[in-house]
Structure 1
Amino acid sequence: MDDLHLKEEVTASELLFKGNFLQAKRDTVRLPDGHTATREYIIHPGAVVVVPLLDDGRVVLERQFRYPVGHVMTEFPAGKLDAGEDPLLCGQRELLEETGYTATEWAHAGAMHLAVAYSTEIIHIYFARGLSLGARQLDHGEFLDVITATPEDLAGWCRDGTVSDAKTLTCTLWLQNVLSGAWTLDWKNGTSPDRAG
């Protein structure tokens, strides 16, 4: 597909803010019709979200306070990528640190762009099964509860607004399609650093 008639070209770029985690930029772009416009956006290092499947059919979720929205949110385990980190290794690390679970099998489901209008953030979606529970290794200053739910309960929470986190809503769509057999996953041994999929 030829998308050249839609592309914007950067003519100038300005760093507005550089924090420990995020950066904000303002770019001047040339539009396809030759006019110019500005684009303000956030540079994000990327992240991983994990859909942990228990042997009894339930999924593992977390509840934690999210400061920007001022609410406790119900979410699948997730975390940001460290510089150069393999997404699978990030998912394995985050699952263990936040929930205490390890998994024997992993499958890369896909990726999503969380907020394409103003952020570079990409979230890699992994499924994990063959779970074993150990001790959590929460980061300093990290407070969260680990809960479990049936896929039906989770879908109900998505429908009634209990779950409004975008990555968890997207992963619930993936979960429904995987469980119905409509979408398949390529499961790999959990000790391999290679991305599945």
Structure 2
Amino acid sequence: MSAQIEDPLTEHELSTEPVFDGKLLKVKRDQVRLPDGKQSMREYVRHPGAVAIVAVMADGRLVFERQFRYPLRRSFLEVPAGKIDPGEPILACAQRELREETGFQAAEWLHLGQIHPCIGYSDERIEVFFATGLTEVGNALDEGEFLEVLSLSPAEARAGVLEGRITDAKTIAALYLAEPHLR
């Protein structure tokens, strides 16, 4: 067996302390040893992880949501997505979120990959899925969740990204990962 070679850019945690412990997010402050042996501080957000779904209707149109996002004080066009519950398998989360938010169930699921949307300040990961064979079964929004469900053709979605109408990073990345399956 060969020994694993450590990345020379690795920073080593020396100590950690909680800064904020919220319902969704937790903020930590760590003291770290840098690659040159000096010390520094890192503050970052711990996130439970999420899923995002590129869902394709029978006519080839993609399911989108328009949802108000409080931190930026405006509504955004996004693919369906949601937080992974503790211990929840990622596919089960994707199936649950698609149904709850859009009212669709999918017959076929493909895991497209994982993205890290905020690597400079968060450990969040988003598991991206491609869903086809949709059947409308009725939504079940969480309390306090408000959104509009709409559909865009793949060409309209691409144009929305290029023209700045779709700026949500997870949506842009998910569309990119789904592109080979949309042709």
Partner residue of 2:168? 165
Shift of 1:114: 1.0
Partner residue of 2:151? 148
Alignment of 1:78-157 (within 5 A): 78-157=81-160
Partner residue of 2:17? 14
Superposition RMSD on alpha carbons, in Å?
Answer: 1.1
**d(CA) in 1 for partners of 2:6, 2:70:** 39
SS in 2 for 1:6: coil
Aligned amino acid, residue 72 of structure 2: V
**d(CA) in 2 for partners of 1:122, 1:132:** 28
Contact 2:113 2:177 in 1 (8 A): no
Aligned amino acid, residue 33 of structure 2: R
**d(CA) in 2 for partners of 1:3, 1:153:** 45
Partner residue of 1:44? 47
Aligned match for 1:54, one of 57, 77, 97: 57
Shift of 1:176: 2.0
- Structure 1: tracts of 5 or more residues without a match: 181-197
Report the CA distance shift for 1:3/1:162 in structure 2 as closer, same or farther (over 3 A). farther
* Paired residue total: 180
SS in 1 for 2:142: coil
Shift of 1:2: 4.4
Superimposed CA distance per residue, residues 122-170 of structure 1 (whole angstroms, 9 cap, x where no aligned partner): 0000011000012110011110000001000000000011000000000
Partner residue of 1:190? none
TM-score, structure 1 as length reference = 0.89
SS in 1 for 2:149: strand
**d(CA) in 1 for partners of 2:161, 2:7:** 38
**d(CA) in 2 for partners of 1:144, 1:3:** 46
TM-score, structure 2 as length reference = 0.96
Residues 1:72 and 2:75 are matched in the alignment? yes
Percent identity for Structure 1 against Structure 2: 45
Contact 2:112 2:178 in 1 (8 A): no
Shift of 1:179: 2.4
- Structure 2: tracts of 5 or more residues without a match: none
Partner residue of 1:192? none
**d(CA) in 1 for partners of 2:39, 2:109:** 45
Contact 2:117 2:126 in 1 (8 A): yes
